[in-house]
A and B are shown apart, each in its own frame.
Chain A
Amino acid sequence: MTLVWGALALGAIYAIVAVGYNIVYISSKTFNFAQAQLMMVGAFVAYSGLVSWHLPWLVVLLIAGVIVAAIAAIEERLAVRPVRDSHNILVTTLGAAIFLDGAAQLIWGTQPLTVPFVGGNRATTFVGGRVYPVELALIVVAVLLVVGIVVFARWTKYGRALLAIAEDREAAELRGINVRALAFAAFAASGLLAGMVGLFVGPVTFAVSTLGASLALKGFVALAIGGFGSFPGALVGGMVVGLVEIWSARLFGGDYVHLGIFVLLLLVLMLRPAGLFVRARERQV
Chain B
Amino acid sequence: MRRKITLIAAAAGLALALTACGSGDDEPTNPTNTEPYRVVVLGGLGAQGVLADNSATSVLAARAGAAYVNDNGGILGRQVTVDVIDDRADPTVAVTKLREYLAQNKPDLVLNSGPSTITNATLPILNEEGILSFNIGATADSSNPAKFPLNFDLTPGASEYLKGYITYLKEQNITRVGILHGSTAYGETFGTVFGTGLPEAGITVTANEVYDVAALDMTPQLETVKASNPEALVLDAYGAPLGYILRNVDKLGWDVPIIGNSSVAATGIISTPEPDGLLGTPLVENLVMEVFKSTKYDPAATGVNEAVRHMTALGEIKATLILAYNYDALLLVKAAAEKAQATDAQSLAAALVDPAVQQAAGTVIIGNYGFTAEAHAPNVTGEEFAFVKPSAIKNGQYS
Q: Does B212 contact A (CB under 8 A)?
A: yes
Bound Cα distance from A253 to B250, whole angstroms: 21
CB proximity to B under 8 Å, residues A237-285: 245-247, 249-250, 253-255, 257-258
Asked if residues A114 and B269 are in contact (CB atoms below 8 Å), the reply is yes
Q: Does A71 contact B (CB under 8 A)?
A: no
Q: Does B48 contact A (CB under 8 A)?
A: yes
Return the CB mask of B265-301 against A: 1 if under 8 Å, else 0. Answer: 0011100101111100010000000000000000000
Q: Does A171 contact B (CB under 8 A)?
A: no
Asked if residues B251 and A253 are in contact (CB atoms below 8 Å), the reply is no
The segment out of B218-226, B352-360, B377-385 that lies at the interface is: B218-226
Asked if residues A258 and B212 are in contact (CB atoms below 8 Å), the reply is yes
CB proximity to A under 8 Å, residues B233-263: 239-240, 243-244, 247-248, 250-253
B214 cross-chain contacts in A, Cβ below 8 A: 213-214
CB proximity to B under 8 Å, residues A172-228: 204-206, 208-211, 213-214
Chief secondary structure at chain A's binding surface: helix
Bound Cα distance from A130 to B253, whole angstroms: 8
A50 cross-chain contacts in B, Cβ below 8 A: 275
Bound Cα distance from A7 to B251, whole angstroms: 13
Nearest Cβ on chain B to A248's Cβ, whole angstroms = 8
Q: Which of A3, A109, A205, A250 contacts B216 (CB 8 A)?
A: A205
Asked if residues A110 and B240 are in contact (CB atoms below 8 Å), the reply is no
Bound Cα distance from A13 to B215, whole angstroms: 12
Asked if residues B48 and A210 are in contact (CB atoms below 8 Å), the reply is yes
Asked if residues B217 and A114 are in contact (CB atoms below 8 Å), the reply is no
Q: Which of A114, A130, A206, A210 contacts B274 (CB 8 A)?
A: A114
Q: Which of A3, A110, A113, A131 contacts B52 (CB 8 A)?
A: A110
Q: Does A65 contact B (CB under 8 A)?
A: no
Asked if residues A114 and B278 are in contact (CB atoms below 8 Å), the reply is yes
20 contacts between A and B (CB under 8 A): A10-B217, A13-B216, A51-B275, A110-B48, A110-B49, A112-B268, A114-B269, A114-B274, A114-B276, A114-B277, A123-B253, A131-B251, A204-B216, A205-B240, A205-B244, A208-B240, A209-B48, A250-B224, A254-B209, A254-B221
Q: Does A229 contact B (CB under 8 A)?
A: no
Asked if residues B272 and A111 are in contact (CB atoms below 8 Å), the reply is yes
Asked if residues B48 and A114 are in contact (CB atoms below 8 Å), the reply is no
Bound Cα distance from A123 to B252, whole angstroms: 8
A88 cross-chain contacts in B, Cβ below 8 A: none
Bound Cα distance from A123 to B283, whole angstroms: 11
Nearest Cβ on chain B to A21's Cβ, whole angstroms = 18
A110 cross-chain contacts in B, Cβ below 8 A: 48-53
Determine which residue in B250, B251, B282 has the highest number of CB atoms from chain A within 10 A of its CB, and name it: B251
Q: Does A105 contact B (CB under 8 A)?
A: yes
B243 cross-chain contacts in A, Cβ below 8 A: 112, 114, 206
Asked if residues B275 and A114 are in contact (CB atoms below 8 Å), the reply is yes
Return the CB mask of A101-120 against B: 1 if under 8 Å, else 0. Answer: 11001000111111010000
A204 cross-chain contacts in B, Cβ below 8 A: 216
B52 cross-chain contacts in A, Cβ below 8 A: 105, 110
Q: Does B391 contact A (CB under 8 A)?
A: no
Q: Does A49 contact B (CB under 8 A)?
A: no
CB proximity to B under 8 Å, residues A1-35: 2-3, 6-7, 9-10, 13
Given the contacts A253-B209, A254-B210, A255-B183, A210 and B49 also touching, CB distance less than 8 Å: yes
Bound Cα distance from A51 to B224, whole angstroms: 35
Nearest Cβ on chain A to B214's Cβ, whole angstroms = 5
Q: Which of A13, A130, A213, A245 contacts B252 (CB 8 A)?
A: A130
> Which residue of the partner chain A has the closest CB to B53?
A110
Q: Does B161 contact A (CB under 8 A)?
A: no
B369 cross-chain contacts in A, Cβ below 8 A: none
CB proximity to A under 8 Å, residues B14-69: 48-53
> Which residue of the partner chain B has the closest CB to A213?
B214
A122 cross-chain contacts in B, Cβ below 8 A: 250, 282
B211 cross-chain contacts in A, Cβ below 8 A: 249, 254
Bound Cα distance from A253 to B49, whole angstroms: 27
Nearest Cβ on chain B to A12's Cβ, whole angstroms = 11
Asked if residues B252 and A247 are in contact (CB atoms below 8 Å), the reply is no
Asked if residues A111 and B53 are in contact (CB atoms below 8 Å), the reply is yes
Q: Which of A208, A211, A246 contacts B219 (CB 8 A)?
A: A246
Nearest Cβ on chain A to B163's Cβ, whole angstroms = 27
Nearest Cβ on chain B to A34's Cβ, whole angstroms = 15
Bound Cα distance from A3 to B183, whole angstroms: 21
Given the contacts A113-B276, A253-B209, A206 and B223 also touching, CB distance less than 8 Å: no
Bound Cα distance from A109 to B269, whole angstroms: 12
Bound Cα distance from A131 to B250, whole angstroms: 10
